[in-house]
């Protein structure tokens, strides 16, 4: 028996074909009938399900005190990779809901957030490779 575990995020989407196109064309994922994975981003895999009704699609709500909600957090190895993803997604027309920001705490930590066609928010972030240094 293997001790190796893995997971993926399941998203209910309002238009499966539109979501598949978005993840393939804008985010550069390898997309099949059900799966969306991105090479080079360790452990990032999604399963896309067609919702029966648009009301079945429920991204996380924004916090009552403001800020932004995140549905999927994607970790990058370093800021070079993060900056490259930001430029790639921006050049392909992704909606950037939170521009690149650096937080002094946590490394420092740098991230940005994109929004998919159903309003799911993906935060891409990481340290500069010198955590605590």
> What are the φ/ψ torsions at residue 128 (nearest 5 degrees)?
-85, 10
**DSSP letter string, 4-30:** -----EEEEES-HHHHHHIIIIIT--E
Query: Could you read off the pLDDT of 36-91 as tens digits, one per residue?
Result: 888 766 678 899 999 999 999 999 998 888 888 999 999 998 999 999 999 999 99
Domains, the chain, ordered by start: 9-52+69-127 (3.10.180.10)
Give per-residue pLDDT as tens, 85-109: 999 999 999 999 999 999 988 789 9
Q: What one-character DSSP code corresponds to residue 64?
A: T
| pTM assigned to the model | 0.88
pLDDT for 110 equals 96
């Amino acid at each position: 028996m293997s001790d190796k575990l893995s997971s993926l995020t399941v998203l209910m989407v309002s238009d499966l074909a539109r979501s598949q196109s978005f993840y393939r064309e804008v985010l550069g994922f390898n997309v099949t009938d059900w799966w969306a994975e991105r090479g080079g981003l360790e452990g990032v895999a999604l399963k896309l399900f067609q919702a029966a009704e648009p009301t079945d699609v429920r991204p996380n709500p924004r916090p009552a005190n403001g800020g932004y909600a995140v549905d999927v957090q994607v970790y990058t190895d370093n800021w070079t990779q993060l900056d490259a993803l930001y430029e790639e997604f921006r050049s392909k027309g992704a909606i950037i809901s939170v521009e690149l920001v650096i937080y002094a705490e946590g490394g420092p930590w740098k991230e940005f957030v994109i929004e998919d066609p159903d309003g799911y928010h993906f935060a891409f972030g990481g340290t500069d490779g010198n955590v605590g240094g």
